[in-house]
Structure 1
Amino acid sequence: MKTDQIDIRVGRRSGAQKLLGLCAVCLAALCMPLSFTGPAVALPDIARELGGSPLALSWITNAFMLCFGGFLLVAGALADRVGRKKVFLAGVVVFIAASFSLSHASSIVALDLLRALQGLAAAAALSGGGAALAQDFEGAAMTRAFSCLGSSFGVGLAFGPILAGFLIQHSGWRSVFAGTAAIGIVALVLATLCMRDSRDRAATGLDWPGAASFTAALALLTYAVLRAPDSGWSSPSVLGLLACAVVLFGAFVAIENTVHRPLLDLSLFRYRRFIGVQFLAAAPAYSYVVLLVLLPVRLISIEGYGSLEAGQIMFAISAPLLVLPMVAGLLTRWFSAGSICGVGLVVAAAGLLWLAQCPPAHSAVAIVPAMFIIGVGVSLPWGLMDGLAVSVVPKERAGMATGVFNTTRVAGESIALAVVAAVLAAFAETGLRDATAGASLPPASQALSEAAHWLSLGSVGEVSRLLPGLDHAALLASYGRAFSDLVYVLAAITLLSAVMIFSFLTRARPAVSTHLGGADSVAE
């Protein structure tokens, strides 16, 4: 590490201070999955109280994910430039304020806007915290620290649905947001007392044109995918949004190739392992993350479980993340990280194929084993990803590294959620059309399309209102076929991701580099 490039605000620090700083970052990281899984479990209750169209309800999840993913790259660059602790603390403070405001939201529009603000704050906290950890720990200690960070996500994902179900059942859906704010306060106190501030003194300013073009491109792409089920993929509005997104992504690449201190160092894409890490970042979106939204809707709205019961069932898919990320870290003594990650994705694909065989008529006992296998598969790469992300860049650019990796991960998740919602609605529309084909007065195409959107959200009552001639058994069968077809698609994507991981990340064992030249050691 080039000591003249790091501005350290605090002198020599004890091991206890470093560990408490790690705890602060892990607690903040714990809030992220809670902010994701909690609203997914609360969605039916939110819809009943605040109403809203299918598109407005989908933004409860997508507003958070889009702003989270779109701002991570900017937040990482800001952390390197103005100070990692400053960015972390600012993010946690805004996150706490947004969470408390969400617990008092009076309309679906206010809820969506506050979720967007919460996503921006979460991006700042995660990028600043991850970059700070890379300055406090080195070598094997850094690997263990980032394994703890990954395990914190695992704890949030494992207990998030159960906690949300308990809070909803006893205190209503608003308490879900108040709970994350309380955790954020603890993280804020620990970080204020124990975290040191540092920055990259070689940084001269933020690449605002690059930041604006990238964020706008990502927003337009996600919005186009969300609009597609309503307007059609070939509609002028969707095609126009997609075209604008492509132009802005092109502008972003052009800007990054010309500015002195780019938001994203495109030269890193020369290295195979850096490319492989980005594939790895996006892979869990289709094998795991989308299920955290789809399965609570199925369990509560389609199969009739209560919020607490659904949360308990969801524990099966996330419980492995409590232990296996640490186990994966230990396995790197004997196997390459790429091999472990690839095998994990193959296991997750097998679990998805099993899940596809379980229609809604099955009991929870039938789907729990499939969910558990998916969780086991995803847990193997989960604890290795963050450490790999910072191993291919100079230490003083750790904020950029975590920003790129987490942007790929979270932006991939937001796009995956939008794509999966569109595909599920399309499959549901096909099923509903087949189910109503024999009716004396077949429903209009617009009614079928709207009913399919509501069915993808689990709103059986709205579907029955739009298609009054459709009996309940046929409705459930239509949903079951659509869900199974979608899971088959997810399994295929997961297997393809495993092939890419084996190709890019298994030629050499990972090594922690402290300079750009060191990336060669992990590239080929």
Structure 2
Amino acid sequence: MHAERVPSPLRWWTLGIVALGTFMLMLDLSVVSIALPQIHTSLHSSFSDLQWVFDAYALTLAIFLVAAGSTADRVGRKKVFQVGFGIFTAASLACGLAGDAVALSSFRAVQGIGAAIMFAVGPALLGHEFHGKERATAFTAFGAAVGLAVATGPLIGGGLTSALSWRWIFFINVPVGVIAMAIGALRVRESFNPRSLGTDWTGLVTFSVALGALVFATIRGPEEGWTSATILSLYAVSAVFLVVFALVERRVGEKAMIDLAFFRNPTFVGISLVAMIGNAGALPSVFFETSYLENMLHVDAWGAGLRFLPLTSAMFVAGAVAGGLIGKVPFRVLLGFATGLLAVGLVLLRLTHLDSTWTALIPSMIVSGIAMGAFNPARAALAIGVTEPSKAGVASGINETFQQVGIAVGIAGVGALFQNRVAHAFTSSDVGHQMGHDAASGAASGISAGGIDAVAAKAGPAHDQVLHAARSAFLTGFHDAMLLSAILAGTAAVVAFLLLRTKDLHASALSTIPPDVDDEGNIVPDTEDAVDRAAAPA
């Protein structure tokens, strides 16, 4: 037996640091939603500025995720993980100190790079330290950290924002990050993969430009005009660089940032699309439900966090149940049901009216929470189940990239529709006609960003009429945006039922016995497990 396979007494420290880092990076994906109204007020930001606070993080997380893993394999996983943690911590401090929306979004992008490094390298560190059945425990804890961060994000964000300031959702990362890096330097072992072929820098650059141009054009479209030269040029740049990226990936072979060979498997194509389209519908709903609670119902940040408990509780329960169904129920049924149920939950948001209380959100939150909770375990399992174990990490990284792309594009696209519908509803109202098109359009921008009361306050004697028109316009935009989210979720369900096939699964996925790793950190079955898998029924 090789030295690497002897359990290290330091392995539990590695698990703790990786789980903590994962919790922090996923928390910063969800915690920001609760603080957006305060960020808007504090930094005088527009609606597109608020979108970028979300999307800058998701974009760089998606772009650097796969590249970070290959770099760490070659340079050293511990070393790169520590660098990622350092980037994340320093960027968190900068976010908390940001003086305007542009600076905040820029530092969020840097924070996303650190998050991508931690998210990509963490599982490889665990794979090097844990073997056999202990490995299942380690990855269960890793998955729990992800779920816990998503579920508790609204509560933590609400608590910090209400008690202190929105800046503390970032400041809290600093002491935790410094302590974690100090412990990691002393208690985490280094590991490499000598077979690593290095980082595909050309692919990284072309993918970054393509994705960045796409999201930027979609966010700026409502303000610049969809047929303006700027927006059309950005979409053209995105398309050209996406084609260049595909050509580059075909030529570089195994060194490719995204190995196109995976996409010869219909089920891998299917789970990639389901992850992207499903998340494009799911995450914007949290963004807009928070805005509805805080701007339409005047609930403070802490109260908004508490009111998300029906969703987060349903996520916890459904996640536990769904995890036990993997291997017993076909993936197409699990994922098709989850995304279809999400579509139903998002349609239920249309139960809200001008005189509704927050309880109108409960049916949607429960149904959507069940759907989101059931979706994640099955998605993660299928992403690695369609390829041989030695390539499971790469397959998982690609799927996570598609998931983050879906979040970024979803926030941009659904947000663009919301802005358009709010503007149309307000400018076409009686109040909008009385104000004139230019003044009404300016007011609509304020309404979209959550400034309903501020818009009404400027109306003087017409305060009540403007307030009613503004609230009606916001609700119209909210309903239409959530309908688009529901359509995206429904589309993901159709893709799941059409493309996900059990026959495309790799033989190693026929057993739930956890895989092990070889001396170079590659996931492989244990010898005795391989026998069990060979005997497993098809």
State the distance in 1 between where 2:315 and 2:14 align.
22
**What residue in structure 1 maps to residue 283 of structure 2?**
289
Q: Which moved more, 1:200-209 or 1:293-302?
A: 200-209
AA at the equivalent of 1:390: I
Q: Residue 330 and residue 194 in structure 1: after superposition, are their counterparts in 2 closer, same or farther (change >3 A)?
A: farther
2:457 pairs with 1:482 = no
- Alpha-carbon shift at residue 371 of structure 1 (Å): 0.8
Contact 1:451 1:467 in 2 (8 A): no
Give the structure-2-normalised TM-score: 0.87
Deviation readout 1:52-79 (Å, 9 max, x if unpaired)? 3333333222211221222213223323
Higher alpha-carbon deviation: 501-510 or 116-125: 501-510
2:416 corresponds to 1:422 = yes
Aligned to 1:431: 425
Secondary structure class of the residue paired with 1:73: helix
The 3-state SS of whatever aligns with 1:257 is helix
Q: Report the Cα offset of residue 141 of structure 1.
A: 6.3
Note closer, same or farther for the CA distance 1:140–1:282 as it changes in structure 2 (3 Å cut): farther
| Counterpart residue number, 1:176 | 169
Tell me the residue number matched to 1:262.
256
Whether the aligned pair in 1 keeps the contact of 2:351 and 2:360 (CA below 8 Å) is no
Kindly indicate whether the alpha-carbon contact (under 8 Å) linking 2:38 and 2:166 is maintained by their aligned counterparts in 1. yes
The CA deviation at 1:414 is 0.6
Residues 428, 339 of structure 1: CA spacing in aligned structure 2 closer, same or farther, 3 A cutoff?
same
The 2-side partners of 1:393 and 1:85 are apart by 26
SS in 2 for 1:425: helix
Deviation at residue 132 of structure 1 after TM alignment = 3.1
Aligned to 1:160: 153
Q: Distance in 2 between the 1:391 and 1:79 partners?
A: 23
Please give the alpha-carbon distance, in whole angstroms, between the structure 2 residues aligned to 1:74 and 1:447.
47
The match for 2:246 is: 253
For structure 1, which segment, 176-185 or 341-350, has the greater mean C-alpha deviation from structure 2 after superposition? 176-185
Which ranges of 4 or more aligned residues in structure 1 deviate by more than 6 Å?
138-141, 465-468
Correspondence list, 1:268-307, <5 A: 268-307=262-301
Range that drifts further, 331-340 or 130-139? 130-139
SS in 2 for 1:512: helix
User: Does the aligned pair in 1 maintain the 2:203–2:249 contact within 8 Å?
Assistant: yes
Deviation at 1:186, TM superposition (A): 5.2
What's 2:385 paired with? 391
- 1:334 alignment partner in structure 2: 328
Contact 1:151 1:325 survives alignment (8 Å): no
Separation in structure 2 between the aligned mates of residue 366 and residue 105 of structure 1, nearest angstrom: 36
Taking the TM superposition and a 5 Å limit, the aligned residue runs for 1:203-222 are: 203-222=196-215
- Does residue 103 of structure 1 match 2:96? yes
How far is 1:187 from its partner?
A: 4.4
CA contact (8 A) 2:7 2:130 kept: no
User: What do the CA deviations read for 1:356-411 (whole angstroms, capped 9, x no partner)?
Assistant: 22235311122123212101111102123233323334545455333311111111
Q: Residue 505 of structure 1 corresponds to which residue in structure 2?
A: 500
Residues 71 and 396 (structure 1), Cα distance of their counterparts in 2 relative to 1, 3 Å cut: same
Unpaired runs of at least 5, structure 2:
510-522, 525-529, 531-537
Give how far 1:140 is off. 7.2
SS where residue 198 of structure 1 aligns? coil
TM-aligned CA deviation for residue 33 of structure 1: 3.1
Structure 2 residue aligned with 1:452? 444
Structure 1 residue 119 displacement after superposition: 0.8
Does the 8 A contact of 2:331 with 2:502 survive in 1?
A: no
- Does the Cα contact within 8 Å between 1:73 and 1:263 map onto a contact in 2? yes
Q: Is the 8 A contact 1:78 1:206 kept in 2?
A: yes
Q: CA RMSD in A?
A: 2.9
Give the distance between the partners of 1:333 and 1:29, measured in 2 at CA.
26
Q: Is the 8 A contact 1:357 1:484 kept in 2?
A: no
Specify every segment of 5 or more residues in structure 1 that has no aligned partner in the other structure, as ranges: 519-523
Counterpart of 1:74 in structure 2 is: 67
Q: Is the 8 A contact 2:432 2:440 kept in 1?
A: no
Task: Map Cα deviations across residues 147-190 of structure 1 (whole Å, 9 max, x no partner).
Answer: 44333222112211111111111111111112233443454355
Distance 1:454 1:70 in 2: 32
- CA distance in 1 between counterparts of 2:428 and 2:330 reads 49
* Aligned residues of 1:288 and 1:375 also touching (Cα < 8 A): no
Residue in structure 2 matching 1:228, options 221, 225, 236: 221
Cα 1:389–1:187 shift into 2, 3 Å: farther
Aligned length: 511
Kindly state the Cα deviation for residue 193 of structure 1 after the two structures are TM-superposed. Answer: 4.7
Deviation at 1:355, TM superposition (A): 1.5
Alpha-carbon distance, 1:274 to partner: 1.3
Report the CA distance between 1:252 and its aligned residue: 0.6
Q: Which deviates further from its counterpart, 18-27 or 32-41?
A: 18-27
1:239 aligns with: 232
Distance of 2:50 and 2:348 partners within structure 1: 29
| Contact kept in structure 2, 1:359 and 1:484, CA below 8 Å | no
Paired position in structure 1 for 2:361: 367
Secondary structure at the residue paired with 1:201?
A: coil
Structure-1-length-normalised TM-score: 0.89
Could you tell me which amino acid in structure 1 is paired with residue 472 of structure 2? Answer: A
Percent of aligned pairs sharing the same letter: 28
Letter of the structure 2 residue corresponding to residue 456 of structure 1: S
With over 3 angstroms needed to count, the CA separation of the structure-2 counterparts of 1:288 and 1:328, relative to structure 1, is same
